[in-house]
Amino acid sequence: MSEFTKTQCPYCGVGCGLEVSPPAQYGKATHRDSQGTPIWRVRGDKAHPSSQGMVCVKGATIAESLDKNRLHYPMVRDSLDQEFRRVSWDEAFDLIAKRLQTVRFTQGPEAICMYGSGQFQTEDYYIAQKLMKGCLGSNNFDANSRLCMSSAVSGYIQSFGSDGPPCCYEDLELTDCAFLIGTNTAECHPIIFNRLAKYHKKNRKVKMVVVDPRRTPTAEAADLHLAIRPGTDIDLLNGIAYLLMRWNYIEPSFIEDCTSNFPAYAEVLRHYAPDIVANRCGISVADLETAARYWGQSQRVLSLWSMGVNQSSEGTAKVRTIINLHLMTGQIGKPGAGPFSLTGQPNAMGGREAGGLAHLLPGYRLVKNPQHRAEVEDFWGLKPGQISPNPGLTAWDMITGLEDGAVGLLWIAATNPAVSMPDLERTKKALLRSPFTIYQDAYYPTETAAYAHVLLPAAQWGEKTGVMTNSERTVTLCQAFREPPREAKPDWEIFAEVGRRLGFVKEFAFTNSAEVYAEFVQLTRHRPCNMTGISHEKLQAQGPTQWPHPEQNTGTREHASSPSGKRLYTDLRFPTPDGRARFGAYHSRGLAEPPDPNYPFVLTTGRLYGHWHTQTRTGRVEKIRQMHPEPFIEIHPRDAARLNITDNQWLEVRSRRGKAKFPAKVTKAIAPGTVFVPMHWGALWANEAEANALTHPESCPDSLQPELKACAVQLIPISAEVTLKNYQLQSSQW
Ligand code: SF4
């Protein structure tokens, strides 16, 4: 038997393979953290197809966080001003079941909400859907993926007829031109970037274009960096398309045979002449032309994007406008080419497969589609019409639902909305009004725990066996390698026990997660994400695999575009009624909150290489804390000189919703007129340094994803009396 357990890294959507072994085994030296405590040993899995043994600092140091600040027992309190008291699981389950029934029969099932996470394994997601959308009759399940990549989901669905990134990581090493827009891949998806950067360096003819208002480490590696003004992405993309048309780099036979709606798109493009576009974007015509030439002259173009595109009030339009470029040049369905959305979380993809957003049902189905509802009702043994035809409340709808009393019970699991939601003061006020909040997490304290009536200790990654899917549709079995601490339980087991206590005994008669997964994959049969050929057993025996992965010899033609798992749409047929991909014709609407004389700067938010989201884990890892000891605000030297700001001087940043304070980092890496703040610091880690105290909840009308990437702010220099000690852990409040 191997001394290592194989699993997938639980941080980002790259989904690197890891091998984990106990602190000391077979007489080998004990692995220790920076304080000398023995910890599990983690290394990259060379056999994992996605990462080939590579890991970044987050994956490499994950073991150090496993035992720190864990929640061990269920705890309850009657009101938020009371202390928690420890209770048994039995008492906690009974309390939750009773409260769910009360809300269900007094306010109706639509008053019950669950806010989950891309940290869930697919089994957790699936059981939560069955409980909420099936048994309780509430579609109010949304996940933090709403804040991360729901625009990519809606863009793919609208353009191709189905969700699903069509590319794979091999394409990083087969492309002639990598076009990265709204993604700081080097810091946020480091191993994807490593693969691309190595290939780019070795092959001088391969071009890399990076579109980002910041000169990030990703932009540093590019042949061409387009530092466009925030909110001008669609202008740029339409401007490139204009030139591709003018220079005849388009693929008329592909457009004719495989797409629809090209005339409407071409009509829009007429308005995007180079001088107009360059002026709007704040770049030179020459750079715009270079970008178009790189795209047009390449045999294989791969575009990559993440939150910089998705977190926008026109996120779906941006995604579709990227896809348009691929459609007009036939850059899809072949090696090294295609529109590739990079997911933020380790199993955001599994959430999409299992129906883990308020408008989805398992198997890439839509709540609004009557046939999809009927198929799921039939499979779950529900009465016809039992699944509500209305999409449920999204993450932000749950906040406004708390404000107006529509939400009677909120169940939050594996996520930290008291740091990550937009308009944070408003979010916190709404959470304070919640009649009953269950907070289920592996860690304590977190910022959100302060708003809970019930705390449920969850087993985390490594303490439960389940499946995750990464950005390239690779499905990996994450095997448990240790017991959960004290009384912590896997998320899916908690949901299933609540279901049984509500009377749904046979619906949740699972004895292990392999059975849960086996039931779930049956709902993917004949669907684009067909995984009927995958099971825990096969993943363990054969290693990770990509979907589509249908059962062999089913005797039926599977999804037309999925002859193999590697790439989608290789037969150039799309899952739309006419088999054609659709052009989306969009003019740019710009930012939801543009700068003005009162709030003259655009604030953009983002991530740093070492930290993960709200630091719940990475904040406990010494190496990462040293790497990123404090938050900061990046400001261009020209703006700094105008405001008489010097490096490290403190600034108060104010938006229409709130304020925060940061030391200035004066750097040419940020464009004039724009400032940047990392989003990792919540109230637990620093005083008044919450990026989301400033952001707004205006959302894309299609994906309902908030525009976390941009808001208007003013900057006020303050004296240096606030010192770094503000950034020490604020443990006293806990
Ligand atoms: Fe984990 Fe992402 Fe780093 Fe890979 S790149 S080790 S998945 S955090």
Backbone angles phi, psi at 46, to 5 degrees: -65, -25
Angstrom distance (rounded) from CA 562 to CA 578: 17
**CA–CA separation, 269 and 237 (whole Å):** 10
Tell me the CA distances in angstroms from 701 to 29, 401, 465, 683, one per residue in order: 56, 18, 37, 31
Alpha-carbon span 590 to 315, nearest angstrom: 11
Q: Which of 438, 440, 494, 442 is nearest to 72 (CA)?
A: 442
- Could you tell me which residues are beta bridge partners of residue 494? none
Sign (positive or negative) of CA dihedral 640, 644, 647, 653: negative
Q: Which CATH number fits domain 5-65: 3.30.300.20, 1.10.3720.10, 3.40.50.700, 2.20.25.90?
A: 2.20.25.90
Q: Which atom of ligand 1 is nearest to the CA of 11?
A: 8
Whether the Cβ atoms of residue 358 and residue 139 lie closer than 8 Å to each other: yes
Index of the ligand 1 atom closest to the CA of residue 18: 6
CA of 12 to the centre of ligand 1 (A): 5
**CATH for the stretch 166-342:** 3.40.228.10
CATH code reported for the domain at 75-144+347-546? 3.40.50.740
39: left (phi over 0), alpha (psi -120 to 50) or beta: beta
Q: Which atom of ligand 1 is nearest to the CA of 12?
A: 2
Mutate to test the pocket of ligand 1, among 8, 16, 188 (most ligand atoms within 8 A of CB): 16
User: Please, are residues 583 and 576 in contact by the beta-carbon 8 Å criterion?
Assistant: no
Instruction: Dig out the tokens for 347 from the structure.
Output: 């199993």
Peptide bond before residue 575 is cis, with ω within 30 degrees of 0? no
Atom of ligand 1 nearest to the CA of 59: 6
Look at ligand 1, atom 2, and give the residue with the nearest C-alpha: 12
Which of 54, 169, 191 for mutating ligand 1's site (highest number of atoms within 8 Å of CB)? 191
- 674 CA distance to ligand 1 centroid (A)? 29
Tell me how many degrees the CA angle 530-536-538 measures, rounded to the nearest 5: 80
62 Cα–ligand 1 center, Å: 10
Identify the bridge partners of residue 301 per DSSP, sorted by sequence position. 177
Alpha carbon of 642 to ligand 1 centroid (Å): 40
Q: Are 455 and 75 in contact (CB under 8 A)?
A: yes
Task: Say if residues 707 and 604 touch (Cβ distance below 8 Å).
Answer: no
Q: In angstroms, rounded to a whole number, what is the distance separating the alpha carbons of residues 248 and 329?
A: 10
Q: Look at residue 185 in the predicted model and tell me its pLDDT.
A: 98
Domain boundaries, the chain: 5-65, 75-144+347-546, 166-342, 601-733
Separation of 202 CA from ligand 1 center, angstroms?
23
Protein residue with its CA nearest to atom 4 in ligand 1: 16
User: Residue 454 Cα, ligand 1 centroid: separation in angstroms?
Assistant: 32
Q: What number does the ligand 1 atom closest to the CA of 612 have? A: 8
Q: How far is the CA of 463 from the centre of ligand 1 (A)?
A: 19
Question: How many C-beta atoms lie closer than 10 Å to residue 250's C-beta?
Answer: 19
Burial class (CB in 10 A: 0-12, 13-18, 19+), 299: exposed
Atom 3 (ligand 1) nearest CA: 56
Q: What 8-state DSSP symbol labels residue 364?
A: T
β-strand partners of 120? none
pLDDT on residue 2? 67
Separation between Cα atoms, residue 290 and residue 607, nearest integer Å: 29
| Pocket residue to mutate for ligand 1, from 7, 51, 58, most atoms within 8 A of Cβ | 58
Tokens for 508?
């949740």
Q: What is the mean pLDDT of each run of 10 residues along the chain (734 residues)?
A: 88 98 70 79 97 97 94 98 98 98 98 97 98 98 97 98 97 98 98 98 97 97 97 98 98 98 98 98 98 98 98 98 98 98 96 98 98 98 96 98 98 98 98 98 98 98 97 98 97 98 98 98 97 98 97 51 73 97 97 98 97 94 95 98 96 98 97 97 96 98 98 89 43 35
Contact between 615 and 677 under an 8 Å Cβ cutoff? The reply is no
Burial annotation 498-526 (CB, 10 A radius, 16+ → b, else e): bbebbebeebbebeebbebbbbbbebbbe
Atom of ligand 1 minimally distant from the CA of 44: 6
Q: Which residues 6+ apart lie within 8 Å of 536 measured at CB?
A: 465, 467, 477, 513, 514, 517, 518
> What's the CA-to-centroid distance between 111 and ligand 1, angstroms?
37
Q: How far is the CA of 48 from the centre of ligand 1 (A)?
A: 13
Ligand 1 center to residue 13 CA distance, Å?
7
Helix (H, G, I), strand (E, B) or coil at 203: coil
| Ligand 1 closest atom vs CA 14 | 7
| Test site for ligand 1: of 7, 8, 14, most ligand atoms within 8 A of the Cβ | 14
Q: Which residues line ligand 1 (CB under 6 A)?
A: 9, 11-12, 14-16, 51, 55-56, 58-59, 190-191
Closest CA to 659 of 614, 610, 722, 591: 722
How close is the Cα of 191 to the center of ligand 1, in Å?
7
CB within 8 Å of 542: residues ≥ 6 apart: none
CA 397 to centroid of ligand 1, rounded, Å: 31
Instruction: Supply the pTM of this predicted model.
Output: 0.95
Q: Alpha-carbon distance 506 to 691, whole Å? A: 46
**Residue to substitute in 9, 54, 184, 621 for testing ligand 1 pocket (most ligand atoms within 8 angstroms of CB):** 9
For 405, other C-beta atoms within 10 Å of its C-beta total: 11
190 C-alpha to center of ligand 1: Å? 7
Q: Which atom of ligand 1 is nearest to the CA of 346?
A: 7
CATH code of domain 601-733: 2.40.40.20
- How far is the centre of ligand 1, averaged over its atoms, from the C-alpha of 185 (Å)? 11
- State how far the alpha carbon of 73 is from the alpha carbons of 70, 188, 445, 608, in Å: 9, 33, 13, 33
SS3 258: helix
Closest atom of ligand 1 to CA, residue 189 = 5
Q: Give the residue, out of 18, 48, 189, with the most ligand 1 atoms within 8 A of its beta carbon, to mutate for a pocket test.
A: 189
What's the CA-to-centroid distance between 533 and ligand 1, angstroms? 27
Angle between helices 513-522 and 122-129 (to 10 degrees): 70
Q: By C-alpha distance, which of 164, 47, 89, 131 is closest to 473?
A: 164
Cis peptide bond N-terminal to 548, omega within 30: yes
Instruction: Give the residue, out of 20, 55, 474, with the most ligand 1 atoms within 8 A of its beta carbon, to mutate for a pocket test.
Output: 55
| Ligand 1 atom closest to Cα of residue 192 | 5
- The reported pLDDT for the residue numbered 88 is 98
Contact 44, 190 (CB under 8 A): no
| C-alpha 628 – ligand 1 centre gap (Å) | 17
The rounded distance, in Å, linking the Cα atoms of 551 and 22 is: 36
The atom of ligand 1 lying closest to the CA of 56 is 3
CA of 225 to the centre of ligand 1 (A): 25
